[in-house]
Amino acid sequence: MGGVLASRNGGDASFDQNYDITWGYDHVKSLDEGRQIQLSLDHSSGAGFGSKLSFGSGFIDMRIKLPGKDSAGVVTAFYLTSHSNNHDELDFEFLGNREGKPITLQTNVFANGQGNREQRMYLWFDPAADFHSYKILWNQYQIVFYVDDTPIRVFKNHTNIGVSYPSQPMQIEASLWNGDSWATDGGQTKTNWSHAPFQAHFQGFDINGCSDHQEPNVEPCYSTSYWWNTQKYWTLDSAHQRAYENVRKKYLTYDYCSDRPRYPTPPPECPQ
């Protein structure tokens, strides 16, 4: 049986309690006694970190401040991923842009190795100006991506109609890297290295998650003794539903569900 790593109200865990640096060690700086981590990207390397444990459910939260100025080609990522052949993954990817142009937030959902579920949107604030919370709720009923307290994406459990649903233990990861082959204007706008090093900052290293590292599956992590599995979190309440519809109407720029050239028949999990 797994265990909870953090209380509902969270504490003030330092980075080293729950996370390790995974690559680009000399491009990582610990600030404020380990309560803030800075990742840097230059021509030689980016950097990344990951949680020490994997999780089977949770309400995962990270506070991020993106690289400022001209960040075209630069990708800041925060995601959950399983380390398996047919992997599960839940992605926040922030695609940098030329100064003065909006940064794109891309989300994606992989289940049993199948991805290609990109959605892209602009944000209603400058994500490089200050820290904002980016959260992923994951239980056996739904996956919800939040920006601060606004839900921006919902992926329901539709295994009943044959759609795979993320159910493998996943590690929490974050990284800063050069994605100029694709990230900005489809790869046409390249990284301007004269602005390097690019720096992303992360805070909030408490984890509201069920770590289930002894078990091969996540079943025990579906227990309603974990608050994020209780009925309140099975669907969006009416206020969150309104906020969700509003933000998508105003800021969504791409949704694989409505990409007819790519999917002449919409995938089964898409709204019919």
Q: What is the pLDDT of residue 1?
A: 39
The pLDDT tens digits of the residues spanning 222-252 come to 999 999 999 999 999 999 999 999 999 999 9
Q: Over 80: is that where the pLDDT of 212 sits?
A: no
Q: Over 60: is that where the pLDDT of 4 sits?
A: no
| Polymer length in residues for the chain | 272
How far apart CA 113 and CA 109 sit, in angstroms, is 10
- Indicate the pTM of the whole model: 0.94
User: Containing H/E element for 16?
Assistant: helix 15-18
- Beta-ladder partners of 142: 156
Buried/exposed 19-32: b ≥16 CB within 10 Å, e otherwise: bebbebeebbeeee
Beta strands in 16-118 (DSSP E): 19-23, 28-31, 36-41, 47-65, 74-81, 89-95, 104-110
Average pLDDT score, the chain: 93
Residue 153 CB contacts under 8 Å (≥ 6 apart), including other chains: 107, 119, 144, 145
The pLDDT tens digits of the residues spanning 148-174 come to 999 999 999 999 999 999 999 999 999
The pLDDT tens digits of the residues spanning 82-101 come to 999 999 999 999 999 999 99
The pLDDT tens digits of the residues spanning 42-65 come to 999 999 999 999 999 999 999 999
Active site residues: 89, 93
| Residue among 271, 272, 9, 63 nearest 153 (CA) | 271
